[in-house]
Amino acid sequence: MILGLDISTSITGASILDGNNKLLYCEAWDMRNKNHFPKLFDKANLVKGRLLDLSIQFPIKYIFIEQSLQAFRPGFSSAKTLLTLAKFNGIVSYICQNDMGIEPEYIGASTARKSNGIKVPRGEKAKQVVLQYVLDSEPSFMVEYTKQGNPKPGSYDRADSLIIARAGYSLWKEKNSNY
């Protein structure tokens, strides 16, 4: 089984695929409540608990994580945000290795989209294109909408984690077809 993670300090998406690329699990873990999760390690403890629960439910063999941003881009996340995200990504990666015994592999967002055949037209937002692709291609993927017609929080994270899992599945299949 393959676990795909879209790690964030606000909402982390997680998807599990079986050996036939069938979606078995796709959820978002919301950590935006500052009263419940005042510190980074409180968020890490929630993710650790969820990962360990998943490892009991599913025989996970491979973990693929969306690679954190590698460079500062004006108009996007601040340097402080990028540093916090990289730190949290490292903590979750350590949990995968130390507590689950699985060394995660990293896939860039654009590489994952390309692996799934997703093209983001110029001027469109990648997250919206990915969500629409997932809605069109995965019958079991459902989204709830706000009164304003926007996807509820966690929808994009779930979709991204599924794209990472599917890209990981393609990598796994490619590696294992050579034997």
Residues 6 or more apart whose Cβ sits within 8 Å of residue 30: 10, 11, 153, 154
Q: What percent of the chain has pLDDT over 70?
A: 94
Kindly state the tokens that stand for 140: 């079991």
The pLDDT of 53-78, averaged and rounded, is 80
Kindly state the tokens that stand for 86: 């990289």
| DSSP SS3 for 62 | strand
CATH code of the domain containing 105:
3.30.420.10
Rounded Cα distance between 66 and 112, Å, is 8
* CB-CB neighbours of 65 under 10 Å: 21
Q: How many domains does the chain have?
A: 1
Domain holding 132, by residue range, is 2-177
Kindly state the tokens that stand for 117: 């055949």
pTM for the complete prediction? 0.90
Residue keyed to tokens 């995660």: 104
Reported as half-sphere exposure (CB side, CA atoms, 13 A), residue 138 has a value of: 26
Contact criterion met (CB below 8 Å) for 130 and 109: no
- The predicted-structure confidence for 3-53, as pLDDT tens digits, reads as follows 999 999 999 999 999 999 999 999 999 999 988 888 999 999 999 999 999
